[in-house]
Amino acid sequence: MNTFLSLLAALALAALVLAPSLYGVARERAIDRQLCEAAAGRSEVPAVRSPPQKSPPQKSSSRSTVPSTATW
């Protein structure tokens, strides 16, 4: 029974150490697959959101002014 628990603990530790790298590899492969599909022209990548609307430029008269205290 002691040997079984030791083996189980070693497997659990190995899973904890390897899980982040395996997740990264799977993510990289998914990105590579998307890039290959886009290069081939048959992109099945979800639609990209449009950039946010720009607000009109702020007028200088509406900005608060702070006197400078720098003495250079």
The string of pLDDT tens digits covering residues 3-59 is 999 999 999 999 999 999 999 999 999 999 999 988 888 655 555 666 667 776 666
Confidence of residue 70 (pLDDT cuts 50, 70, 90): low
Token pair listed for 3? 């040997």
Token pair listed for 51? 């950039």
- 12: in domain: no
Range of the domain at 29: 19-43
- 49: in domain: no
State the pTM of this model. 0.46
Contact 37, 43 (CB under 8 A): yes
- 27: in domain: yes
Contacts of 9 (CB under 8 A, 6+ apart): none
How many helices (H) and strands (E) in the chain?
1, 0
What does the longest C-alpha to C-alpha distance in the chain come to?
79
- 28: in domain: yes
- 25: in domain: yes
Total of domains in the chain: 1
- 33: in domain: yes
